[in-house]
A and B are shown apart, each in its own frame.
Chain A
Amino acid sequence: MIRLLSSVALGAMIGAAPALAQTEIRIVSGQERQNGAVLVDIFKRFNAGQNRVLVDLELDNRSDLDTTQKVLADIVAGTTPDAVRITGAVLRSYIDSGRAQPLDACLASAPKLAAQLDTGLLDGFRVNGTLYAMPWYVTLPALFINADAFRAAGLDPESPPATWSELEAAAAALSNGSGDRYGLLMYMPNTYMFEGQLASSGGAMVGPDGQSGVAGPAAVDQMAFMRRLVKDKRMPALSQAVFWGEAARLFQAGEVAMLLTSSSSYNSLTANVNFDVALAPMPAQDGHDPITMASGNGFVMLATDPARQEATCSALLSLITPESVAATVRATASSPLNVAAAEIPELLGDFYAKNRKLVVINSQMSRPWYTLPGRANNEFQSNFGDIQHEILTGATSPQDGLNRLAALMNELNAGQ
């Protein structure tokens, strides 16, 4: 019923416009391995369903930071794409430079669709009340568990650790103490996991005085906890360059039994392994409720010409129809942005019946992931990765390292 309505709405929109020449718009997206196939399908259907706008989708398997570099080069060259897929990590760069075009009017032009969207998740794409990215999907962290290893260690994968002390106990039981088999990997070389733990323990990236909060007691506790895990050989200390290739390999090879990472890795982590994988919500410090970071995935509109903006808008709206959202959720194991998608049995009904764990993951409490304004976020994240590695390997103390990070964060924020 709702599917019918939305396609009628879309059809009406298209039908209302006079027969014009076809507008070709260029949309750029990285991270192809994560979501490229579903994106191709969505725009293929969009192109086939009307003849006013033709989407030319450019995909590559780079990180969103690298994709931003390509877009930068395009901007300099005067061949700016009409829209680019972004994650929270680079959204601010586009907004603060004035390149990202507001999308409130675009979303308002499709009130039926707008009404179906999860407003909580939508807020992650707003800055100062203005919508700057067409939301596509949102991923939350999850604890991936090697269920076979759990059972072998006498643990029950059905009752996973929920607090730091349970986590440490489970990690101790799962590791062999010699550094060949670890119990846990719970960090990333960026602040995604760090901020989640920090927020859960009552800290914040930015204090009430506007200064950096990364050297506060909650942050120091967290780093000290992780350093202890590394020291006791319950957790490996991976440097930034090695991390992305190694974290997945360690889990898939059975060398790390619990991996706290983004739920968007669900499909790639559960494929190519010969053991059972269980999922659990993110654990938090004892006595605190977990607050996770939502990593938003959306499209920034860069087109400035009104006609191109309208064409781009119609293409971007096709991302949030119940059908598109259902396909996206299946491909990325993310939270459904369009509430209707989850309610229609033929869309996502049976998906959640088969993947009950994902329901738990996607109902975790979340906040948007903090990023530094302007162009400073990359430099901050990279330094965070370095300092965290120094703390984990014992090269520097948690307090000293975090003090250094806070100083840099304040300097970068002041420079923007």
Chain B
Amino acid sequence: MSVSPASVLRPITMPRVGFAPLVAPYVLVAPLLGLIFIFAILPAALALFLTFFETDILAGTMRFVGTANFARAADRGNVLNSLRVTFLYTVLTVPPSMILGLSIALAINGLRRGRMFWQAVYFLPVAATLVAMSIVWRWMFVGRKGIIDQTFGQAIGLTDWLNSPVLSLPAVAIVGNWQQIGFVVILYLAALTAVPRHLLEAARVDGAGAWSRFWHVTWPSIGPTTVFVGIITSVDALRVFDTISTMTGGGPSRSSQTLAHLMWERGIYFFDIGGGSVVTLVLLALALAATAVQRLLTARLERAGTR
């Protein structure tokens, strides 16, 4: 920190107002919560409300249908399918991004020269326009003539990914990893520079091997970053839409249809506002659950930080 708190703390002439400190937090938070209320909570509440109606926007009519939208959603089984796909996508993107991101960060961190260069290379996809890159990737995954099939696809016997109900989701997940690994790398690189040098040196003097040094010194000290990365990548997995919409459209036969895509398909593409709202509800519930998990995981770290 270049700014020393002492330098800005000239003696305060203004008398302390007893009331102000009590009100201040609310004044500071109010604009943000107001905006979140308008642009997130209110629309989400509207979605809740709409689950009980059949709404025809075109005709401008609304009809109360009770729980019929829920019954239909359960009947078709699409919501369950999308829950499964979303979970699978999370498994296919969060751990690989974290493991690969950490490995690459460790590799770059161990370099004597060229660190900036490799950071830049791995960060490029983070800065790219995803909708355009999805088109390039779709093209790379195209059966037979695409680069994937022409190179390692044939070598490992997995071809025509986007047309396959088994491989379409992994194809999208590969792009998801490609896009976010650079971000994970930079987060971990930042964390690695903060690992106390003297501890590493001490471990080395004690004759600890590379793995032992990593496990006993590096890994514990990058713990908060690991939690942070886990949260960010999970949030992304819950929201993934652009790549799926461009590369697979959720198919073939819903094999890669995540909840976010299902919500769009029912609510917007099929004009079924009620049915789409049911999916929104499921997503909101998941978002709350994820929030709870994150609060539990970080509460301990934060208590440590609030000393």
Contact = CB atoms under 8 A, between A and B. Distances in A.
A386 B163 contact: no
Contacts of B162: 239, 241-242
Interface in A202-253: 236-242, 245-246, 249, 253
B251 A99 contact: no
Nearest to A182: B144
A240 B250 CA distance: 9
B251 A386 contact: yes
Q: Is the interface of A mostly helix, strand, loop or mixed?
A: helix
A72 B251 contact: no
A236 B265 CA distance: 26
A97 B145 contact: no
A75 B168 CA distance: 36
Contact of B249 (A69, A75, A240): A240
Q: Which of A69, A241, A245, A385 lies at the interface centre, i.e. has the most chain B CB atoms within 10 A of its CB?
A: A241
Nearest to A387: B253
A81 to B, nearest CB: 13
Contacts of B246: 241
Nearest to A66: B269
Contacts of B254: 386
Interface in B239-285: 246-254, 265, 268-272
Interface centre among A96, A99, A379, A390 (most CB of B within 10 A): A379
Contact of B271 (A93, A389, A395): A93
Contact of A375 (B163, B247, B272): B272
A179 B251 contact: no
A64 B138 CA distance: 23
B269 A382 contact: yes
B59 interface: yes
Given A239-B251, A379-B272, A389-B251, A97 B58 contact: yes
B138 A242 contact: yes
A357 B5 CA distance: 82
B163 A242 contact: yes
B252 A97 contact: no
A390 B250 CA distance: 14
B163 A239 contact: yes
A378 B249 contact: no
Given A237-B163, A242-B142, A245-B138, A379 B270 contact: yes
A375 B271 contact: yes
Nearest to A244: B249
A69 B138 CA distance: 25
A386 B253 CA distance: 5
A240 B60 contact: no
Contacts of B268: 69
Contacts of B248: 239, 241-242
Given A242-B163, A382-B269, A72 B58 contact: yes
A105 interface: no
Contacts of A18: none
A73 to B, nearest CB: 8
A238 B271 contact: no
Contacts of A379: 270, 272
Contacts of B247: 241
A183 to B, nearest CB: 15
B253 A378 contact: no
Contact of B270 (A94, A236, A240, A375): A375
B145 A253 contact: yes
Contact of B252 (A98, A240, A378): A240
Contacts of A253: 145
Contacts of A378: 269-271
Contact of B57 (A75, A249, A386): A75
A65 interface: yes
Contacts of B252: 239-240, 386, 389-390, 393
B165 interface: yes
Contacts of B270: 375, 378-379, 382
Contacts of B58: 72, 75, 93-94, 97, 99, 375
B143 interface: yes
A211 to B, nearest CB: 21
B129 to A, nearest CB: 17
B253 A390 contact: yes
B135 interface: yes
B169 to A, nearest CB: 13
A255 interface: yes
Contact of B135 (A239, A245, A255, A389): A245
B236 interface: no
B56 interface: yes
Contacts of B60: 75, 97
A353 interface: no
A44 to B, nearest CB: 30
Given A99-B59, A255-B145, A238 B163 contact: yes
Interface in A67-102: 69, 72, 75-76, 93-94, 96-99
A76 B57 contact: yes
Contacts of A179: 143-144
A180 interface: yes
B138 A98 contact: no
A250 to B, nearest CB: 8
Nearest to B245: A241
Interface in B59-80: 59-60
Contacts of B165: 395
Nearest to A378: B270
Contacts of A98: 59
Contacts of A180: 144-145
Nearest to A245: B138
A387 B165 CA distance: 13
A407 to B, nearest CB: 12
Given A97-B56, A241-B251, A72 B271 contact: yes
Given A242-B248, A375-B56, 4 more contacts: A240-B249, A241-B248, A245-B138, A375-B272
Give me the 4 closest cross-chain CB pairs, A-B, nearest first.
A241-B249, A97-B58, A97-B59, A375-B271
17 contacts: A75-B58, A94-B58, A96-B59, A98-B59, A179-B144, A238-B163, A239-B163, A239-B168, A239-B252, A241-B250, A242-B138, A242-B163, A245-B135, A375-B271, A378-B271, A389-B251, A389-B252
